[in-house]
Structure 1
Amino acid sequence: MRRLMPTIAAAVLLAVSANAQESKTAFFLDNCLYAWNVNPGTRVEGEPYRFFSIGLGNGSASLLASFYAPTINLGAVPSMFSSWSAFNLGLAQLGDLVNFGIDNRFLAGTSAQIFSFGRQWEDSRYSVSLNSRSDTRLNASFNFIRDFVLDLNGDLSNLSGTIGVDNVGFRSVHYLELCGSYTRNLGDIASVGGNVKLLLGYFGMGLDINTMRVGVFPDGGFGADLNAGMFFSSSVLTVPSTWKDGREVYDFSSARLGGLGFSGIGTAVDFGLNVQPASGLTLGLSVLDFGLMYWGGGFDARLDYSGRAVESKNEIFALEPGGRGSRFKMLNYDIHLSAQYRMPFYDGWSVGMLGTYQPYFREVRLGTAVTPVKYISLALSTAFNNFGINVGTALNVRLPGLSLYLATDSLNFSRRMTNVTAGLAIAFPG
């Protein structure tokens, strides 16, 4: 356990440095190029063109946390792989996190576009892209850090009494995504689109604790009760294991980098629909990242025992022969509902609403966008979600053959929340 938590922390940092979520504030911009990230059924508008990007496509990094974090640093480092390639979360010491006051939730996501190309006609559009994606979540009761991790992080010989925790969930998956997209207008009042994705995973880790109690037995020995599920699969990180008393004990303190390759494979689909029931009014529905991944190698197991005597923290999570869990894992899908209205007296001003549902996240976002001149669009939004209230802004600059935007969804208003998104597309007449 002493090394398990740093391993989880490293996975969290890997997640926010590898990829990112779509920008919801940019969805309101007067430019369909970015709305397709939220709804692939967004209506095709404008002149025909071709576009491409290599390491210059959409990239974003997001962090939503309900707990106190002493330092949060956000930075971008250019690289050949993405326009947004670094997201640095600095947590001073575990001891600084004892100010958790409510149930703790942590969501981090990124999406770095390695390359993309496509073409738009008058009423349809296609694209192909290769992206690096990550999704990390942590949810735990308020005493997880304060009363459990800090105590268990010390020497077992100093532990007295019993400590425990219930309902802890952690998941971190990292993968490459090859995506094919197509959108088509259906007459004057509707449009439909979708994406088909091939997923290749290189790191997956999860720990779901229903209940866990550790403490000192009456005879002075150290023991544990545990009901949990855990899995680990990685082509880039190797964790050695040994056998003791018929159980497999993984030593995360000896984890080391492995070779390149993939340990997971899967598929997912996106679907989007837009309708215009009245002049200026657009309603939308989309489902994103609905799919499964199969994780090979490593381990996937259920742990359910009571009164097990252990001599080290690693033995708490020692695996029994058999008792394996499912190696198929669902992605953290999104469902979006939207409504936008363009003002009849000024074509460059619109207002709208975007609702988002994820298994661990709910949000309603209100936004407005204005295009004061042909080449510049601005957007402002405010959101109400299960992390609090936040404000977002977005800027889009469109020049002949070039479209650039920068957006943030979560200015720190009531919680530790950050979402920064950057995008650049090169287009030429098609």
Structure 2
Amino acid sequence: MDKISIKKILKRSFFLLLLHVISSNSFAQYLRTSYFMENATNRLQLNPAFQPTRGYIAIPVIGSFQASASSNALGVSDVTDIINSKEDFWDNDKFFDRLKTDNRVNVNLNTNIVSLGFYRGKSFWSANIGVRADVNASIPRTMFDYLREVNNSEPIDLLGKDFSINNQQMNATVYTEIGLGYSREIIHRLTIGGRMKMLLGSANINMDMRDLKIEENLTSGTIISHGTLNVSMPGTAVETKTDDNGTEYVNKVKYDKAGVAGYGMAVDFGATYQLLNNLKLSASIVDLGFISWSKNSTTTAVANQERTIEYKGYGTASDGDVLDMKYMGYAIQSPKSKTTSIASTLVLGGEYTFFQNQLGLGVLSTTHFSEPKTISEFTFSANYCPKSWFNVALSYSTMQNNRQTFGLGLKLGPVFVGTDYMFLGNSSKTKDVNAYLSITLPLGKSRAASRSN
């Protein structure tokens, strides 16, 4: 058996699971712990109606960066144990014991290249240019079970066995965001805000392998595949071949340049209302938009056929890299333009303050409308802000599947760091990790604390 090709398959699947790290059971595209932090400028991402105590300008490129990852199958300590293990991970029983039937994957990266905000009269303006990447994937346990078995068995032991691997999915989008925001108190105690965003799509990949069956025989293997693959990227070059039945199929996909493959728009809307002197309510919906991908940058292929691989002597279908498109039989279709929506988020919040607004207790609900399912979280936080240059918050979040996490946010002068999922070392069983870092400089005169607006 050709174990080199098997290891290549395993690494491809495993690092898809770990680096795309991970599930639809959490939402960390924006930092929720900072939502009630008075002087954290990144909270405007969740509600454009918020007005900081003064304007700001972020340090270019390094001024704002957020990354998040989580897993419905493996905790952070589980991943480090596997990485540090001297044995191949497919022989690691702990790894396979923790796998779910459906190992869903979600990762988000978000950085602002340029970001600033300033007051003009009673109005607050903000602008940003940033890059975002959102990845969602789902890998069934049956894929790992199949690869483990073919790796630990002799080819003759697999004869007559059939394997069925269903419902593999991956969705990835990378785009540049150019945003302009505005907020203003329109009547006493009521402030509204909005942000218009132009989106420049760099890449969009959608893969849905609904059914993949592998039947092993003595001198050949049969692969039955049903699925779709849609790739929108500039400079995409597709190499095709024709099988013995005259069907043209994808052999390789190459990418030779970066650029823009699609254009879109998105909007954010938000409002805050000072119900009582010490009680403020807020609501927003963000990332309500779409990207249209051009026909010239889009490649669509469909797998809907049965293919036979002839062996030279004993062999298995795994020797042919069954994850390669040429073996799954993706056939090219006529190029078409497409439109995809971006995942929007509904936010509801309330905060009660004490001791002349230095201490605040808040509750936040976030509902993230993503694929394959909607994600909801509740966050409770305590915020302490004795000075404009010092602000600290501690949060507790409860998520679906009875999962709980703690978060921490700290603003010290121009530097802000925070996390919604606190990592407590290798003893931690958390399946969620995220981190946010920003460096902003004050701009203009200080305004009265907006909690008392």
Report matched runs for 1:41-190 at 5 Å.
Answer: 41-42=49-50, 44=51, 46=53, 49=55, 51-68=57-74, 70-71=78-79, 95=90, 96=92, 97-102=95-100, 103-121=102-120, 123-141=122-140, 143-150=141-148, 159-160=158-159, 161-190=161-190
Residues 45/267 of structure 1: CA separation in 2 closer, same or farther (3 Å cut): closer
Please say if residues 39 and 388 of structure 2, whose CA atoms lie closer than 8 Å, have aligned partners that are also in contact.
no
Query: What corresponds to 2:313 in structure 1?
Result: none
Aligned: 1:268 with 2:266: yes
Please say if residues 12 and 108 of structure 1, whose CA atoms lie closer than 8 Å, have aligned partners that are also in contact.
no
Q: How many angstroms does 1:270 deviate by?
A: 1.8
Please say if residues 265 and 294 of structure 1, whose CA atoms lie closer than 8 Å, have aligned partners that are also in contact.
yes
Deviation digits for residues 288-343 of structure 1 (CA, Å, limit 9, x no counterpart): 222222334252244344x4445653334323354878732222222222222212
Q: Which consecutive residues of structure 2, in runs of 5 or more, have no partner in the other structure? A: 22-27, 311-319, 446-453
Work out the CA distance in 2 between the residues paired with 1:194 and 1:153. 55
Residues 144/119 of structure 1: CA separation in 2 closer, same or farther (3 Å cut): farther
Q: Secondary structure at the match of 2:31?
A: coil
Paired positions, count: 400
TM-score by length of 2: 0.76
Q: Secondary structure at the match of 2:124?
A: strand
Deviation digits for residues 384-418 of structure 1 (CA, Å, limit 9, x no counterpart): 123722111010123xxxx3210011124543321
Q: Which consecutive residues of structure 1, in runs of 5 or more, have no partner in the other structure? A: 74-88
Residues 153/409 of structure 1: CA separation in 2 closer, same or farther (3 Å cut): farther
Work out the CA distance in 1 between the residues paired with 2:440 and 2:212. 50
Work out the CA distance in 2 between the residues paired with 1:117 and 1:356. 25
Letter in 2 for 1:66: N
Letter in 2 for 1:98: F
Letter in 1 for 2:222: G
Deviation digits for residues 173-231 of structure 1 (CA, Å, limit 9, x no counterpart): 212211122222222222222222222222322212333322236x8642233332222
Q: How many angstroms does 1:369 deviate by?
A: 0.5
Q: Secondary structure at the match of 2:346?
A: strand
**RMSD over aligned Cα atoms:** 3.5
Percent same amino acid among aligned pairs?
19
Q: Considering fraction of residues, name the structure with more helix.
A: 2
Letter in 2 for 1:178: I
Please say if residues 20 and 105 of structure 2, whose CA atoms lie closer than 8 Å, have aligned partners that are also in contact.
no
TM-score by length of 1: 0.80
Query: What corresponds to 1:229 in structure 2?
Result: 228
Q: Which of these residues, 338, 342, 348, is aligned with residue 337 of structure 1?
A: 348
Please say if residues 302 and 325 of structure 1, whose CA atoms lie closer than 8 Å, have aligned partners that are also in contact.
no
Query: What corresponds to 2:362 in structure 1?
Result: 352
Please say if residues 392 and 410 of structure 2, whose CA atoms lie closer than 8 Å, have aligned partners that are also in contact.
yes
Work out the CA distance in 2 between the residues paired with 1:226 and 1:249. 13
Q: Which of these residues, 283, 286, 289, is aligned with residue 288 of structure 1?
A: 286
Letter in 2 for 1:132: V
Q: How many angstroms does 1:12 deviate by?
A: 8.0
* Bigger Rg, structure 1 or 2: 2
Q: How many angstroms does 1:348 deviate by?
A: 0.7
